[in-house]
Structure 1
Amino acid sequence: MARDVLRGAAPAVVRAALADRDPFPGTGGFAGALDTGAAVSADDGGTGEGAAGGRGGRVVRDVLGRQPVFVDGHRWSFEPGRLDEPRPVGAGRVVDLDSGDDARVWTLPDHPPESDRERAIEAVRTAVLESVRGVNDEGLAVAFSGGVDSALVASGVDAPCYVAGFPDSHDVAAAREAAAAMDRDLRVVELTHDDLRDAVPRVVAATGRTNPMDVGIALPLVLVAERARADGFSRLAVGQGADELFGGYAKVVSPAEDHRVDADTVRGARRETVETLPRQLERDVLALRAAGVEPVAPLLDDRVVRAALPLPGDLLATDEERKVALRRAAEGVVPASVAASKKKAVQYGSLVSRELDRLARQAGYKRRLDDHVGQYVRSLVDET
């Protein structure tokens, strides 16, 4: 008997979004199958606790790829390991498993820039606060780095905050300062070399990736998630999406002079970074679920995305400041010192990238070798 198995949205919402080609039907992202047949594994009812899948039907993934889903011939699953040759469904696409058709249904709108700065900032403030304050606190912990993104997430919920990093890392120091300013319960996961060595194979098994960038990003997330899970929490609120939506990357500031982007405007470069989200979120979601928690990403809610897309370039990034509109929206919500704080990417702020490099060199993989950290990562996997 055909049925619908979805994560992130009710079938009626997805069917209406398909009919209207509406990329933002009021969800935090969705994926799954409509009119699917026999299950590959036990059906979790779309709750995110199992690996529901099936044969036949239409497999969908939202416009930003916030929920990963995979196909293999006539079969599909939320977990790539359940399929022989898994292929991720592209963001905004619908795959018909019976015919093999793979069509783009939803596309990211190209809004003109909002000319009223105050209205643009207020739209961001309203959307962010509604989203973070709408998160259910039950079983929830917060991944907290002390930056404006995770601080806004933490401001809307009653949940403990967790940070992972080596003892002298920027993230641990920043999180302690921000948690004190916000009067929040902070639990520090102080990392060691043994933690990294032990966790690398789990990260690779969950994500299927061995490149140092992906592994370095996923490691602190996984180690925070595992500690939160050990403390009894089943859900982890994260600040993912803020850098991409609001201009948090250095390459967005002067794109015409930066080889890392093709665009020559701030808004064009921001769009390029938004389009990287599906692959990033696939890594993060799979890693966090493997660690035993369900990710919650309120800054990727449809209402936040709708508010972010029309921002003019000077409310995204300037020579002096990045995530301009988000920081203005955070004023009065989080302490001024936190709203203005500058943050490093997690693999650098936690010092995980630095210490992976050190471990690789200690193991004999010198920097003169091509991909010496990647070789070290793969050696740890081979040892398990």
Structure 2
Amino acid sequence: MATLHGADAETVREALERGEPLPGTAGFAGEIDGKLVRDVLGREPLFLEGTEATATGETEDDAWAFEPTALEDPTPVPAGGVVDADEAGRVVPADVERRWTLPDPDPEPDHETALEALDDAIRTATDTARTAEREIAVAFSGGVDSALVAELLDAPLYVVGFPDSHDVEAARTAAEAMGRELTVVELEPADLERAVPEIVRATGRTNAMDVQIALPLYLVGERVAADGYDALAVGQGADELFGGYEKVVRLDHRVDAETTRGAVREQIRSLPDQLPRDVLTIRATGLEPVAPLLHDRVVEAALRLPDDLLADAETRKRAFRQVASRYLPEEVAMRDKKAVQYGSLVARELDRLARQNGYKRRMDDHVSKYVASLLENEVEGEGEVEDE
């Protein structure tokens, strides 16, 4: 079994020695030279066994893993963290050394310089993704993020959603504008019921929001894998890096920062909690995730963007859209999008299934309760088969 994911050992070793948080990788995690490491954005999952499990001797396995389901009481290694491998299972996250922290460079005052740096970084990231010996398809929603990834990777496009969903229609019109073919993966409610237990097992998460976000990734990944591809490219990270959320402009109660740039940094810091869900979901389909917009070089360029190239009241992700318009039709580069769980109608249909099965909206967190019931029902069914 590989002990280091996402980057070669020499690159990670040098990053440790120099304290370099963005050493030119797409993320990494694992064991090297007796240390457990996880990159500064947590792009690769890594978990420690909880101290209670190891203290009581409930597990005899290794005290760390890349998947939460391999441990009795998995606890994520904090992004940027370094732990002595011998201490795994005996430390809590608060005590983990943070070897790397997110850089805080001054903004680039010249707009053209900032845009050229971002363009170069995105091209570097997609060129790097293409050089790997793997067949890549793109999870395509018709929005600017996945469209730019698809254009620069020149990879096949797949969209997933219910027949009347926003994402399916948006992907069709965007693919037509780009002169590209599109494979549509149309969903029905039974697909959600079947996939939910697989996602929960892979990610260790049962809350409704995480499952709703993971479902489209899992279901499109299934089809991509069945069609013979090795990897699934996604546009993840663009909203966090480039100012894609309304709250970074409004600066309301949802953020602590007083500037758009500060609010964007807050969103970037949320990535280590989100990304393991997506990575583990895609890998559960047998595919390797590819996220060019989360490459170190892109992150570096994004961190140098000034407020007025991030977002304003009229346009969000301003710099990113300006770069994208160099490669995409204007209508695609400037298009707004819906979050995948809403654009695909997965959230609506999962809510409907929950209510049909007796989990009414008046119940607290009714969809999460329904998700848990699907897993319980499957476990009970497996037990009945074993009894026979």
Name the TM-score, length of structure 2 as normaliser.
Answer: 0.90
List aligned pairs for 1:132-151, cutoff 5 A. 132-136=126-130, 138-151=134-147
Point out the more displaced range, 282-291 or 70-79. Answer: 70-79
List aligned pairs for 1:152-301, cutoff 5 A. 152-255=148-251, 258-301=252-295
Cα distance in 1 for partners of 2:373, 2:3 equals 38
Equivalent residue number for residue 358 of structure 2: 364
List aligned pairs for 1:1-384, cutoff 5 A. 5-35=3-33, 57-72=34-49, 75-99=63-87, 100=91, 102-136=96-130, 138-255=134-251, 258-384=252-378
Cα distance in 1 for partners of 2:12, 2:269 equals 21
3-state secondary structure, aligned to 1:15: helix
Cα distance in 1 for partners of 2:258, 2:371 equals 36
3-state secondary structure, aligned to 1:112: coil
| Cα deviation, residue 68, structure 1 | 0.7
Contact 2:42 2:78 in 1 (8 A): yes
Cα distance in 2 for partners of 1:309, 1:185 equals 34
| Cα deviation, residue 4, structure 1 | 8.2
Contact 1:4 1:33 in 2 (8 A): no
Cα distance in 2 for partners of 1:379, 1:69 equals 27
Unaligned runs of 5+ in 1: 36-56
CA separation of 1:207/1:4 partners in 2, compared to 1, >3 Å: closer, same or farther? closer
Report the residue type matching 1:299 in the other structure. Answer: L
| Cα deviation, residue 113, structure 1 | 1.7
Cα distance in 2 for partners of 1:71, 1:332 equals 44
Cα distance in 1 for partners of 2:368, 2:64 equals 30
| Cα deviation, residue 130, structure 1 | 2.2
| Cα deviation, residue 327, structure 1 | 0.2
Report the residue type matching 1:90 in the other structure. Answer: P
| Cα deviation, residue 109, structure 1 | 0.8
Contact 2:29 2:44 in 1 (8 A): yes
Contact 1:4 1:11 in 2 (8 A): no
Report the residue type matching 2:308 in the other structure. Answer: D
Point out the more displaced range, 238-247 or 178-187. Answer: 178-187
Point out the more displaced range, 58-67 or 120-129. Answer: 120-129
Aligned length: 359
Report the residue type matching 1:325 in the other structure. Answer: A
1:26-80 CA-to-partner distances (Å, cap 9, x unmatched) read 1111111013xxxxxxxxxxxxxxxxxxxxx211000001111112266222122
CA RMSD of superposed structures (Å): 1.5
| Cα deviation, residue 186, structure 1 | 1.0
1:16-35 CA-to-partner distances (Å, cap 9, x unmatched) read 11111001111111111013
Report the residue type matching 2:36 in the other structure. Answer: V
| Cα deviation, residue 301, structure 1 | 0.6
Equivalent residue number for residue 44 of structure 1: none
| Cα deviation, residue 5, structure 1 | 2.5
Contact 1:135 1:156 in 2 (8 A): no
| Cα deviation, residue 145, structure 1 | 0.6
Contact 1:92 1:105 in 2 (8 A): yes
Report the residue type matching 1:215 in the other structure. Answer: V
Cα distance in 2 for partners of 1:358, 1:242 equals 30
Structure with the largest fraction of helix: 2
3-state secondary structure, aligned to 1:285: helix
Cα distance in 2 for partners of 1:196, 1:4 equals 32
Equivalent residue number for residue 47 of structure 1: none
Unaligned runs of 5+ in 2: 55-61, 379-388
Cα distance in 2 for partners of 1:246, 1:91 equals 20
